Amino acid sequence: MSPLTPYRRLFAHPGTRAFTLGNLVARLPMGMFSVSAVIMIASSRGSYALAGAVTATGLAATAVVAPWTARLVDRHGQARVAVPATAFALLGGIGLVVCVRLGAPDWSLFAAYAATATTPNTGGMSRARWAHLLRGDAAALHTANSFEQAVDELCFMLGPVLAALLCGTVSPEAGMLVGSALMMTGVLLFTAQRSTQPPPQPRPTSASPALAPGMPSLLLSFLATGAVFGAMEVVTIAFADERGHRSAAGAVLALQAAGSCLAGLLFGTMNRGTPSPALSTPLDRRAASPDHAAPLAPAAHSPERSDLLDDRTAHSPECPAPLDVEGTFARRFAVCVGAMAVLLTLPLLAVRLTGALPVLAGALLVAGMATAPTMVTGMTLVQRRTPEGRLNEGMTLAVTGLLGGIAGGSAVGGWVAEHVSPAAGYTVPVAAATVALAIATLGARTGARTGARTGAVRHREPRLETRPANTP
């Protein structure tokens, strides 16, 4: 079978190509906005500290607003919420351009960029559509999730390049304006595909995922990891500008995303023998519940559902497997974060020892190879620890943690780059990764107890969905 066969089957479903195309257009600007804002503000005001603080404010506002926007999308539908939310964010982006262009006070930049916090999570909405269309088909859903991860990396490779190119060759404001236009156009195209839109969901009854066992420390790890990304972006732009190659900053950052993409593909092939998180998440259990339209009795005999039954059986109170599985994922997450912390010393050494932009680019390519394994393993833990019926909110909280970290990392990285030196700024990502490693290591020590608790809860599911067809 050709490696492309699962993807051909995936896009054979009616409407999938149309909503994917619209989502791609809407998602590309996600990799453009921060770079565009930093270049535009630094060019006009001559301060990377101010640029970093403004982008940090926008990301912090997004971290606060994003969970509420996600809840509204789940409760009222994607089209009904995403379009007005995007339009409001569009006004914030245009307002930022106007304030910079007219030389408005610095506080107006913070206010304008904070208004972009209503931007909906387009990647999450796309994943929700796949989960709705492919409910009960674990193999196809795994293929869809793999595709979505590849799209994320593609956007963060091409977005900074396009932003830096537009800001460097057209005008400092071009990146923000083009990104805003692409986002609005993409969301309109995406939400126009009503046939694939998941139905609104009722209000959840379980407690917040933030309070679930093991989640607080995990979210703190995401916060520190986000600081790595935020600091690296601002510091790299400042370093490229110092070397007289500001327009090349996007390409250099894209290499880090390319390294992550390559490592992610390899990491996926290395984990075939581990329990699949897609088969043990609340989303999969919910998709298999009798409340959904698709009957699951025939699928209970398929290989994919057999894996799911095995995983659920492993979560029985009589079976110690969840202790080992949870501990395995927690320890793997700590190892991945440790690898990220070690590899992040390469960019620091590159700028300290050579000061050459090409050498830095190569170092970022290698350093980025720890990103995807870290994120995949971390998100797996989020899926396993999120309570029943709250998976979307749990994933949004993880993204919120990342955004909060990016905000703090951008501010600190920009301050160090301006007041010390861009080369010294590369100590900020290393320090943030070290903090993430300490938190992940502490979390791994309690992972076994967390797994025992969550395993017992997950086992208490309706027996109907695990019985063969026609079984009373």
User: For 299, which DSSP code?
Assistant: G
CB atoms within 10 A of CB 320: 14
Pure H helices in 315-420: 321-343, 345-353, 357-367, 371-385, 391-419
Q: What is the pLDDT of residue 434?
A: 95
Q: Which residues of the chain have pLDDT under 50?
A: 271-323, 450-452, 454-472
Q: What is the pLDDT of residue 188?
A: 95
E strands in 163-275: none
Retrieve residue 163's tokens. 């932003």
Q: What is the pLDDT of residue 9?
A: 82
Q: What is the pLDDT of residue 393?
A: 73
List for the chain the helix, strand, coil content (%; round to 5): 80, 0, 20
Q: What is the pLDDT of residue 270?
A: 54
Q: What is the pLDDT of residue 296?
A: 34
Say if CB 366 and CB 259 are below 8 A apart.
Answer: yes
Residue found by looking up tokens 């703090």 in the block: 408
Q: What is the pLDDT of residue 390?
A: 67
Q: What is the pLDDT of residue 439?
A: 93
Residue found by looking up tokens 């290499």 in the block: 255
Gap between the Cα atoms of 266 and 337, Å rounded: 17
**Taking the C-alpha atoms of 346, 350, 352 and 356 in order, what is their torsion angle to the nearest 10 degrees?**
-160
Q: What is the pLDDT of residue 322?
A: 43
Angle separating helix axes 33-45 and 391-419, nearest 10 degrees: 30
Q: What is the pLDDT of residue 346?
A: 94
